[in-house]
Amino acid sequence: MGGATSKDRYDRAAASGILTLNRQKVRSWSSLTKALKKLSTLRTLSITENPLRDPVPHAFTALSLWSTLVSLDLSHNSITCACALGSEAPLPKSHAVQTLPRITSAPAGNAAHGSSPLPLESLDISGNDLHMLPPLLSARFPRLRRLVCTDNKRALVIALSLERCIGASKSLEVVALQRNRLNTFSVADDAVENPFPALRELLLDQNHLGGTVNLGFVAGRAAPLLPSLKRITLDEQRGEEPLRHIDVAIFVHCPGLVSLSLRGNRNEEELHSSLVQSGTYRSWQERKKDVVDKKLHAGGQAELL
């Protein structure tokens, strides 16, 4: 593994709880896993910009360090599959075709797997070559607060909806999915009333979302509800079909929303004009004006579309 085998590096990690393997020519999961077995109390692990192309193996996800690991960065390694991260058991090679049965039979809500909840709070799997967003991440990591998966090298697949794919979560606060060539995106369907009660930011810039975008929210239905969501970004959508319309159901289902960014879209002015014609949007705008004014008065920054 090049510099990654340095005894000093691992000795320091054992003492500090932090291991960084950036551009260390890590190529083998087997060698990496063998070295990591000696570090059972890591809190932060960063393995980035290495030629680590093979799928994440079960041996890596079964390491004892998961009982203490709080932050994991596996970005920019060209990894082709990270589905093992959401599974306690080894996955068969055919697991991709079994994804829908797996996620539809998973426990509802924030139920974790059979063992004790793992403490992971931050996961970055950006810049890889993933065939899909790893299923059931919230079930295995119920404390996950930050999920970052941007710049995937192929069009990222999110099975059914974000909630159906990773599972509902009481902890998740930030979801970053920029530049993944997403043609559609749904937060959740109406089967779960409050799938992500802590979610504050949903970042979807520079994808391929076109036509009417509703994020899975349907007018006239009470669920799903995202009470804490403050910010949605839909800047610079790059699909063949331009972003033409924002469904105002978003403002009903996200009552705490303060910022919806549409910068850089081909018909940005038309999008704004369409929203202004909606009574639902105008009511939302008036309700949130006081919130924004208070932030600005206090010297902070705030945006109201």
Average of per-residue pLDDT across 287-293:
69
Residue-level pLDDT at 300: 55
Residue-level pLDDT at 303: 58
Question: Which two structure tokens, joined as six digits, stand for 248?
Answer: 């105002």
pLDDT in tens, 105-139: 665 544 444 567 899 999 999 999 999 999 999 99
Q: How far apart (Å, rounded) are the C-alpha atoms in residues 287 and 303? A: 14
Q: What is the mean pLDDT of the chain?
A: 90
pLDDT in tens, 14-30: 999 999 999 999 999 99
Average of per-residue pLDDT across 229-243:
96
Residue-level pLDDT at 111: 47
- pLDDT band for 2, please (50, 70, 90 cuts): very low
Are the C-beta atoms of 144 and 137 separated by less than 8 Å? Answer: yes
Q: How far apart (Å, rounded) are the C-alpha atoms in residues 261 and 10? A: 43
> Does residue 179 have a pLDDT over 90?
yes
Residue-level pLDDT at 4: 44
Q: Report the side by side order of strands in the sheet with 122-124.
A: 18-22, 44-48, 71-73, 122-124, 146-148, 174-176, 201-203, 231-233, 259-261
> Does residue 294 have a pLDDT over 70?
no
Residue-level pLDDT at 297: 59
Q: How far apart (Å, rounded) are the C-alpha atoms in residues 21 and 117? A: 26
Q: Is the pTM of this model over 0.85?
A: yes
- CATH number among 3.40.630, 3.40.50, 1.10.3470, 3.80.10, domain 1-171: 3.80.10
Residue-level pLDDT at 104: 73
pLDDT in tens, 80-108: 999 999 998 888 887 877 777 777 766 55
